[in-house]
Amino acid sequence: MTPTTIVPPALRLGAVLSVLALVLTGCALNTEPDLTGSGAQDSGVVSAPNSTGGPYDVSALLHPAHKYVGAALPGVPQSLDALGPYEQQIGKKPNILEYYASFGDGFDISGARRIFASGAIPYMAWEPYTPSLTAIASGSSDAYITSVAKAVASVDLPVAISFGHEFNGNWYPWGRQATTPAQFVAAWRHIHDLFKAAGATNVIWVWSPNIINPARSTRLQPYYPGDAYVDWIGVVGYYALYGEHTWNTLFEPTMREVRGFTKKPFFISETASQRSPRRQADIDDLMSGIETHPDVLGFVWFDIVKRADWRIETTPGPLADYRQRLSNPAFGFDIRNP
């Protein structure tokens, strides 16, 4: 999530303006917005040799018996320097690593392979700062999308992708203040169809709303592309200093609403607890919630300084508790043998 991505000039300007808007307007509670384009590299890394086999079969990874232990770490996917120290501190090998890429960036093939070699699924949060979702759905970016899809297919390993995460909030240019549900669904389906046509069936598609608490009047179902286009429901929610801070008030309202229109499994695709005297209780609450919900596949801990210091390693007591909770055999598994 550090801004290391090489982005074409037009995209760079769009991203800068979007970030400036966020700084000026602030952000909703219980969400940690935008770390623009720290993921994939520019279009120079899109091409790759053809895979010797067919696309990776992700079916066994869609609802594994054990929980995913994920992390968002600085420098990923270009560098995994932060992974070793983090793994040592938490006592568990992360098996999914999330990173952020702007729409217009190429897919970082070497980075994806690097992540998979470490024992984790690469998870790209794809952020469409520009062009508009209407333009994407109309086909204006088809050549780019197809090139990314072919690159994803070529790596022959599982890749999780969320497009336009936190679409129900108002802190991103693809959010509810600028994009209708119909426009979001049309863009999502169009991208999905282009990936399918390119043979990129090795993708786990993560539809990723923010928790509904900051935007209770915005219904989620109109934004849902349909079960044929989604594998996981990737809920974003943070234990911040203010706002909701229990599983029952933070995540359950969103999960209940989603269960009204799909039975797809949940994945907590971004979470962390802000540093406070309550942090250890937050961690216990999060881990208990994941443990006791069979339809919650796991989580990604956002271990990066952004607006707040979310790093678990900065608080020894909560870190020890987190490490102890992760020692439960229910957490973590070998993605090559789920």
Dihedral pair phi/psi, residue 74, rounded to 5°: -60, 140
**CA atoms lying within 13 Å on the CB side of residue 32:** 28
Catalytic residue check, 257? no
Give yes or no for a contact between 32 and 272, defined as CB atoms under 8 angstroms apart. yes
Helix (H) or strand (E) holding 116: helix 109-117
Which listed residue (98, 127, 166, 244) is catalytic? 166
- Candidates 98, 270, 291, 313; catalytic one: 270
Question: Comparing C-alpha atoms, which of 35, 44, 33, 34 is closest to residue 6?
Answer: 44
Give the DSSP letter string of 142-155: HHHHHHHHHHHHHT
Residue 124, classed as helix, strand or coil, is: strand
Backbone angles phi, psi at 268, to 5 degrees: -80, 95
Answer yes or no: 270 catalytic.
yes
DSSP per-residue letters across 255-276: HHHHTTT--PPEEEEEE-B-SS
Q: Looking at the annotation, which residues are catalytic? A: 166, 270
